[in-house]
Structure 1
Amino acid sequence: MNITVFCSAADLDDRYTSAAREFAELIGRGGHTMVWGGSESGLMKVMADGVQAGGGRLVGISVEFLAVSARKNADEMVITKDLAERKAGLLARGDAVVIMVGGTGTLDEATEILELKKHGMHTKPVVLLNTAGFYDGLRQQFQRMEDEGFLPLPLTDLVFFAEDGVGAMAYLEESAGLR
């Protein structure tokens, strides 16, 4: 399975990096491919290192202005002209999407995916990996949107909130019929 992962390129606290490393190793050991932003820094690097350590493949999709920080030993690296093309490539190449901790770029990616899914233009499984409760506030906001009629679909049809990598991988493999 090709798993698109959206996450931060920032250097983060161990409570985030250790959980990311564990999830990355699950991707690799499962024989999966991680499709990601291609960066050789921060959480993106932690994920790439873990996937490769677990025996998985890496498909990076970077953007011209960040190409200097693209991982050199990825199995495949695509350089796009802008962020919109990058995001489209990341979505197209994955069989499922996992959104990990990140900043405004990650949040932008997450909300676009959910908007596409809401309109039936994206049908792949989407997981928000809620490491250390990072997305508790977002889950609460989404629940309020559902409760007050802003979502045309049940929240559970749009996204699965996983508390750890094991739960995320179990959901993805079940969704793909691998379990």
Structure 2
Amino acid sequence: MKIAVYCASEFGKEELYTEAARELGQWIGASKHTLVYGGGESGLMGIVAKEVHDAGCEVIGVVPGNVAFIKNRPQPYVTKLIFTEDMSERKRKMLELADVFIALPGGIGTLDEISETITLTKIGVFHKPSILFNRNGFYEPLKQMFQTMEDAGFLAEDKMKHVLFSDDLKEMEGFLREWL
């Protein structure tokens, strides 16, 4: 299975986010899955990639060609590096490559990417699950916003069965088995 992980190129203020990235990377590696990610080596991105790489699994980095700091030096954890024209093409390539999408805590880019995957399955463009790795309740405000949308009649619960909020790897694994 190819798993796209969206996350920060920073570590954040809490060590528990670094630990979440480490756990997720170790799980992907132990499960012998392929990682598809933004290609960087810093922050949570680098932690996930290192763990998957250390397990001997494929790590596919997808980066816009205009990111000179990546283009001009080798990435230590990437087994396959794909350059795209720009960020829009990068997002499309990751959507195409991955079977599953997981968002660790991150910033606006992470939110943008996971929101797109959730929407594309909801409207039937593809049939792929999305998981929000909810360490320390990081995604609780978004989960509440989804509930607010449902309560206001803008989102049907049955159209969101492809989305899981969890930080329990066993629960995620079970969700993926049922989904795929």
Alignment TM-score, normalising by the size of structure 1: 0.90
- CA contact 1:19–1:165 (8 Å) conserved in 2: no
| Residues 1-150 of structure 1 aligned to structure 2 (within 5 Å) | 1-12=1-12, 13-69=14-70, 71-150=75-154
- Which sits farther off after the overlay, 5-14 or 40-49? 5-14
Offset at residue 155 of structure 1 (A): 5.7
Query: What SS is found at the alignment partner of 2:101?
Result: strand
Offset at residue 119 of structure 1 (A): 1.1
- Measured against aligned partners, the alpha-carbon deviations of 1:32-81 in whole angstroms (never above 9, x if no partner) come to 00100111111000000111122321011011232523624411110111
Query: What SS is found at the alignment partner of 2:161?
Result: helix
- CA contact 2:100–2:130 (8 Å) conserved in 1: yes
For residues 108 and 80 of structure 1, the distance between their equivalents in structure 2, rounded to whole angstroms, comes to 18
- CA contact 1:129–1:161 (8 Å) conserved in 2: yes
Identity value in percent = 38
- Measured against aligned partners, the alpha-carbon deviations of 1:128-152 in whole angstroms (never above 9, x if no partner) come to 1111110000000011111221114
Unaligned 5+ runs, structure 2: none
For residues 170 and 68 of structure 2, the distance between their equivalents in structure 1, rounded to whole angstroms, comes to 32
Alignment TM-score, normalising by the size of structure 2: 0.90
- Which sits farther off after the overlay, 68-77 or 8-17? 68-77
Query: What SS is found at the alignment partner of 2:66?
Result: helix
Unaligned 5+ runs, structure 1: none
- CA contact 1:26–1:54 (8 Å) conserved in 2: no
For residues 98 and 38 of structure 2, the distance between their equivalents in structure 1, rounded to whole angstroms, comes to 12
Moved over 3 A (4+): none
Root-mean-square deviation (CA, aligned residues, Å) is 1.7
Among candidates 148, 163, 166, match of residue 162 of structure 1: 166
- Which sits farther off after the overlay, 162-171 or 143-152? 162-171
Give the 3 Å change call, closer, same or farther, for CA 155–143 of structure 1 in structure 2.
Answer: farther
Give the 3 Å change call, closer, same or farther, for CA 75–174 of structure 1 in structure 2.
Answer: farther
For residues 50 and 171 of structure 2, the distance between their equivalents in structure 1, rounded to whole angstroms, comes to 21
- CA contact 2:122–2:159 (8 Å) conserved in 1: no
> What is the count of residue pairs matched by the alignment?
176
